[in-house]
Structure 1
Amino acid sequence: MNWWAEDTKRAIQEQRALGQLAERSSWLSNPIKRLAEGMRVAFDFDVQIGDRTIPLTLVYPDLFPDAAPWILPRDGKRLSGHQYGSQGELCLEYRPDNWMPDITGAMMVESAHRLLSSEDQTGEAAPSEHRTSRAQQIRQSFRRLLFSPDTISGLSGLAEGQVEKGEVLEQESVVTIAAQLARIGPPDEPVWSETQKRGGECRNVNAIVARIPEGEGRVCTSFSDLRALLWSSALPELAMDLASSSEPTFVVIFDGKRIYPLLVSGQDEGRAIATYDAIFVEKDFKRLDPEYERLKTAKVAIIGCGSIGSKVAVQLARSGVTDFVLVDSDVLASGNLVRNELDWRSVGFHKTVALSLRIEEINPACTVSPWAISIGGQESGAVAAATLSAIEECDLIVDATADPKAFNLCASIARRASIPMCWAQAFGGGAGGIVVRLQPDIDPTPLTARQRIEGWYREQNVEWPDDGSSQPYTDASGPGAPLIADDADVTVIASHLTRFAIDLLARPDATIFPYPAYLIGLREKWLFSAPFDVRPIDLGEADAWGTVKDADAAQALEEFLADLDPAAADAG
């Protein structure tokens, strides 16, 4: 319902206040009430500014008096520099950022009169309190070249009159093209390269980068303008090359102060340009703890790229991990979208491949090895062995499968190679989940840890309220029913698992977690008395990590190798 129907008393007060203002003010005339688009109440009125009569409209929003009305010219003319766009509303003393419900429409009209009469009398723009963010300033910019202090440094390294080939990366949305200068110079010997290149699906556009005399740059609106600029800057060969080429070419002109980006396209006499706005992007401040630098050199194996594994992979990529081994045999289905980090663009792809692309969208410098196999399943022995070897080369193993067979293999690799391991499981019905992390020689080995967790469950003497495969550590085999939990439930558990993973990598000798395992409750169910009920589990002392060799292992190995024929060839 509209505000004027809900609060008729206030609506009448607004009308009376505007009428009383017209009676006592010679500059205000003809206030007429009407219904504007969307059943909004509006008042058309005229204000006298010097010898001009200016037609204006006061429009009340649906949420008045909790939201501010606005005033705009009825004839669509530009009235002031304090105006949103050439035909938009006036920026007045009372605005959304300082609005109070006791401010009236009549007060807005008085504010509009003060603004226009002040500028009419002085011939100068009224003092401004308007502060716009960078995002507001570029709202109408549809083609953008983003540059940073590093970009300026690269361009400043060019001598005046120097012309270099380059590369621009572009991404396009429905209404915006965002570009980035990725390289100055040839690919094999670049003069400068961007260290933080755009990720995702980018267009690679050939570029020409030119340094012209300082302060001589200007915005070109046609190819003839560009040609004249290049001739006046002693770059006639570049002007002729661009005129004779039929290939789209991105041109970046730098005059020592400003960047002038544009795209040249078309053929022969039809060469045309599309200008881009150069948008300065401040150097990012540090947002991560210095300890996270260790993550950049870590290699992480994520076994299971479903709802939990996909989220952990992306969170680790955002946190600084750049080397991944992903293992999952499954293909993303549309039904997975309720919880998986991936979206419709990946439906029908193997999860490992799609997740690899997602990680590279976040950080193109990441190295990702996808293994689309079922660990512990019916696979080629050679492929399975290669997968296990790839996992063994990692600094951390994350099991996100909730599958006993996969867990057993991960546990074996972690124990034999003394690799830290962590895992998680979300419980059905949004009840919560468990997260576990194990450090070699500090915590028990994975299989021992699981046995102790199951023993802890039994000690609580509380039956799981539901049947099905979503119970904690069920050993049921087969596909079973899908886990009933929403994205928020799973994200909570995945995020805690990521925190464990980061802790193992960034703080190997000084963990912030006093316990290696936690049950996390998200609702009143099973052991949990309420949401956010957390139960730590003490897993006890460590047992034997690594490979235990017998005292006579060396002699046994010698006997085993004695009858091997090094000249024998492999089968096939």
Structure 2
Amino acid sequence: MGFTVGEARLIRECEELADLAAASDWLEEPQFGRNVDGLLTWSFVLLAGERRIPLRLVFPALFPDLPPFVFPADGTVRLSQHQYGEGGELCLQYRPDNWHPDCKSTDVVRSARALLEATPEENTFSDVESAHPGDLSSQLWGHSLRFMLPSDTARLMRMRLAGRATDLQITMERRFGAPESIVARIATIGLDHNQIEPKDGPGAGGNRVHGVLFRLPDIGKIPDLPPDELAELLYHSLPRWLREWIRSAGDVFVVVSNGQREVLLRVSHYGSERKMDIFHTFEPPKTKERRVHGKMFRNSSICIIGAGSLGSKVAASLAREGVGQFKLLDNDVLWSDNLVRNELDEMDVGHHKAVSLQHRLVRINPDVKVGALGMSLTSQTAVQNIAQLSEIISTCDLVIDTTADNSVFRMAAAICTQKRKPLVWGRVYAGGIGGLIARSFPSEDPPPLTAASQLRAWCDEKGMAPPEGREHNYGVQGQDDDEPLFASDSDVGVIANRLVRHALDALVPTEMRVHPEPAYFIGMRKGWIFDHPFDTHPVIFSPHEGWVKGSTSCEEEGIARVMTQLGLQDDA
């Protein structure tokens, strides 16, 4: 029988493992088999001192390009801190990041022996240095209950008087999956006027539950014990009156602190029975400033008109850029068919887009301040909202129109001209063929309506009007009875990303701007004026003096002068 190269290699590996077991006094009960996934396994008992440790070596489907992995035979056992959770694989000297096909499976087994012989039987910690000391993400895979404790929150809890109990509010954020996980964070410490909210604490979202913090009276070491034993030890370290209160409450979260380390317990009582779960405490990495311009935009205020596909993406990106204040205007409701392009998700279906987007931005940046208004600017009530929109725009540094609605644009443009506020707008053309990003900055560009007129004139010179398609859905009808072509999420995302950059240019000094021209037609596929994807046509506006105060819409004092001229009296 002929074997492939991989099969021949696997046969040699198995023969060498059998030879190692026959020649070694620290290997017993070797046995080959297959696991439920159909992979070849080698089970054995490793002798480490007085211990007998059942293990299982598994050859992955990609062997020999990847090394075999070693697991405890018991899927619930934790043998070492160099292990990916209870029952998980051991992190050995030979790993996927340093494996070479010249290495052997017997080397992996010897590496497992070296690790476990250096690990004391009474606990899982050894002096063996980790090859991945900062790999917190991998460590957390083995813990479904997690207590995230930033340094400032820990400091505030350790300041509490020893021997005293303090009320807590704890946020619980659950994620379903494999594995399911719950992350607990301290939201507040104390009650009423003595309540403190840690600056690095709760974030946004999650369910809030009541808890209690107890500072142990003496600063003794909290030992490293198996979870069940540690939970019992800490529970019985609580004073009797607190244990009785916990028993009467039925289900309580308790943080036990010795001033150096904190442990979160969930204590549940069912009649005379008590169940306790212990959370894995970890400190998150120190926050790093990853934005290009740091905190430059935290005092900037932006009004975004439209929370649809384009507007929602623009708002989310600006929140990530650190913009500190938003006003979101949209009267529409999110439906399931909007999810193909909107930044929002299934949990927001049936809710107004502006309000849901407000919650989304707070989850992106808990420090952001967001106002959301279900203001209609396209219906018969639009006239009633002009004064309110004017007031909102006057308080913002920048206005962004993402509606692709001409009536909304004219209203925003007129107010921005009157209030001398920069306006940025964008459109995604039908079928995702491309889009437009444009700006109108006071004292630099023509007023928005004039700029829009110049853009239409530019297109007229090309002899082709922009493929606007059906409003609001970025669709265009094909030939005859063909299905309409719609812009995809990625198409909208391209225009949204460049529109965000256009908006940020309005908030930075001139020398820091990325886009030198006020408007760009951006292609995403061949068609209309575009010869190829990413074919970009910049547009330079002609000079105009339209930003002179009083040159456009009549303000209140202007109306009064007109009425005087006409000999009319105010109805009021």
TM range (shorter): 0.7 to 0.9
Contact 1:426-1:434 within 8 A present in 2 as well = yes
Alignment of 1:161-560 (within 5 A): 161-174=163-176, 175-187=180-192, 189-190=193-194, 192-216=196-220, 218=222, 225=233, 228-231=236-239, 238-243=242-247, 245-246=248-249, 248-266=251-269, 273-290=276-293, 292-293=295-296, 295-379=297-381, 381-461=383-463, 468-469=469-470, 484-507=486-509, 510-545=512-547, 547-548=549-550, 556=561, 559=564
In the alignment, is the contact (CA less than 8 A) between 2:150 and 2:200 conserved in 1?
A: no
Pairs within 5 Å for 1:93-112: 93-105=93-105, 107-109=107-109, 111=111
Q: Distance in 2 between matches of 1:80 and 1:157?
A: 35
Looking at structure 1, the residues matched to 447 and 460 of structure 2 have their Cα atoms a distance apart, in angstroms, of 20
C-alpha displacement at 1:515, in angstroms? 0.9
Offset at residue 156 of structure 1 (A): 3.7
Change (3 A) 1:546 1:369: farther
Shift of 1:13: 3.2
Contact conserved, 1:165 with 1:208, CA < 8 A, in 2?
A: yes
Q: What is the number of equivalent residue pairs in this alignment?
A: 548
SS in 1 for 2:506: helix
Change (3 A) 1:453 1:185: same
* TM-fit CA distance, 1:306: 0.9
d(CA) in 1 for partners of 2:328 and 2:54?
Answer: 66
18-27 or 74-83, which deviates more: 74-83
In the aligned structure 2, how far is the partner of 1:158 from the partner of 1:73? 42
Work out whether 1:15 is the aligned partner of 2:11. yes
Distance 2:215 2:298 in 1: 36
Cα gap change, 1:44/1:210 in structure 2, threshold over 3 Å: closer, same or farther? closer
Question: Which is worse superposed, 151-160 or 83-92?
Answer: 83-92
Q: Is the 8 A contact 2:413 2:449 kept in 1?
A: yes
Q: Distance in 1 between matches of 2:199 and 2:127?
A: 44
Give the partner amino acid of 1:397: V
The alignment partner of 1:498 has SS state of: helix
Aligned-residue CA RMSD (Å)? 4.2
Partner in structure 2 of residue 38 of structure 1: 37
Deviation at 1:119, TM superposition (A): 8.2
Shift in Å, 1:414: 1.0
Q: Does 2:62 align with 1:63?
A: yes
Per the alignment, do residues 309 and 213 of structure 1 end up closer, same or farther by CA in structure 2, a change over 3 Å counting?
same
Compute the TM-score of the two structures, normalised by the length of structure 1: 0.81
What displacement does 1:365 show? 4.1
**Cα gap change, 1:563/1:194 in structure 2, threshold over 3 Å: closer, same or farther?**
farther
Secondary structure of 1:519's aligned partner: strand
SS in 1 for 2:185: strand
Q: Which amino acid aligns with 2:63?
A: F
Counterparts of 1:259 and 1:75, CA distance in 2: 29
Deviation at 1:462, TM superposition (A): 5.6
Structure 1 pair 204/49, CA: closer, same or farther in 2 (3 Å)? Answer: closer
Task: Name the residue aligned to 1:26.
Answer: 23
**Matching residue's letter, 2:184:** A
1-side partners of 2:16 and 2:272: how far apart? 65
Cα separation, 2, equivalents of 1:331 and 1:68: 53
Letter of the structure 2 residue corresponding to residue 206 of structure 1: H
Shift of 1:338: 0.9
Instruction: String of CA shifts for 1:436-463, please: whole Å, max 9, x gaps.
Output: 1221111111111112222222333467
Answer yes or no: is the 8 Å Cα contact 2:404–2:426 preserved in 1. Answer: yes
Take 1:298 and 1:539, find their aligned partners in 2: how far apart are those partners?
A: 26
Identify the range of structure 1 (439-448 vs 519-528) with the bigger mean alpha-carbon deviation.
Answer: 519-528
Match of 2:132 in 1: 131
1:150-161 to structure 2, matched below 5 A, reads: 150-161=152-163
Following superposition, the deviation at residue 80 of structure 1 comes to: 5.9
In structure 2, the gaps of 5 or more residues are 478-482
SS of residue matched to 1:193: coil
Amino acid at match of 2:99: W
Instruction: Measure the CA separation in 2 of the matches of 1:74 and 1:227.
Output: 32
Instruction: Determine the structure 2 residue equivalent to 1:141.
Output: 143
SS state at 2:486 partner: coil
From the superposition, tell whether residues 268 and 51 of structure 1 become closer, same or farther in structure 2 (CA, over 3 Å): closer
Q: Percent identity, aligned pairs only? A: 33
The amino acid across from 2:258 in the alignment is D
Paired residues of 1:217 and 1:260 also in contact (CA < 8 A) = no
The CA deviation at 1:310 is 0.5
TM-score (norm 2): 0.81
Contact 1:49 1:117 in 2 (8 A): yes
1:499-543 deviation line (CA, Å, top 9, x unaligned): 222221244775332111122222233333332332222123343
Structure 1 residue identity aligned to 2:522: I
More divergent stretch after superposition (255-264 vs 487-496): 255-264
**Stretches of structure 1 lacking an aligned partner (at least 5 in a row):** none
Counterpart Cα distance in 2 of 1:362 and 1:208: 29
1:203 deviates by 2.0
1:107 Cα shift?
4.6
